Amino acid sequence: MNFCPNCGAPIEFRVPEGDDRKRNICSATGEIFYDNPRNVVGTLVERDGRMLMCRREIEPRRHFWTLPAGFLELGETSAGGAARETLEEAGVQVRAPRLFNLIDVTHIGQIHMFFIAEMVGDHYAPGQESNDVRFFAEDEIAWPQLAFPSIHRTLERYFADRAGGHFGVHVESLAAADWHAMALDRRPRDVG
């Protein structure tokens, strides 16, 4: 951040009085601009025991597989945003979303929230950010071909809870080391 988005004056990066960390501060007016974590919201949708997944058409991780998810927008609820993303990316309408997993991904300043939701109707089709939409059985999932570690972790938890007969609400965090430890493939390949 170099210029004040309000008045265009140069920005200073320093600790404001009474604060304990550096902030972007307008050199003309003293206004402080805070940078905070952003929320990514998505769904876990089953049909006949198989999981709805999308193949990404956009970077990062283009052509890797993901649960439908994206950034929460102003004015929507977290569950509502998850439903919107599912419609946009997979063409699937859902109902009754309930929180399943909340993951603090601190090294990239994000919270990822996944909601278990029910599919309404039979329609599915890739949206403009996907190039394929499929339903995978647990043993069909190509784990190293997943787009992001939060997807990996959430699917693991989902199948574990499903096997146990009860879906809980989970809160966890993923650090940079956890991401690397999952050893996701660097290149996409055909699956299934």
Q: Which residues bind a copy of itself (CB under 8 A)?
A: 1-8, 11, 18, 21, 24, 33-39, 71-80, 98-99, 102, 104, 106-107, 109, 111, 128, 169, 171, 173
- Cβ proximity to a copy of itself: between 74 and 190 the closer is 74
The string of DSSP codes covering 88-151 is HHH--EEEEEEEEEEEEEGGGTEEEEEEEEEEESS-----TTEEEEEEE-GGG--GGGBS-HHH
Closest CA to 87 of 48, 126, 39, 46: 126
- Cβ proximity to a copy of itself: between 106 and 183 the closer is 106
- At residue 131, φ and ψ (nearest 5 deg) are -120, 0
- Cβ proximity to a copy of itself: between 93 and 134 the closer is 93
> What is the spatial distance between Cα 76 and Cα 60, in angstroms, rounded to a whole number?
25
> What is the spatial distance between Cα 182 and Cα 164, in angstroms, rounded to a whole number?
24
Closest CA to 70 of 78, 62, 133, 142: 78
- Cβ proximity to a copy of itself: between 13 and 192 the closer is 13
For residue 122 the two structure tokens come to 């039979």
- Cβ proximity to a copy of itself: between 69 and 72 the closer is 72
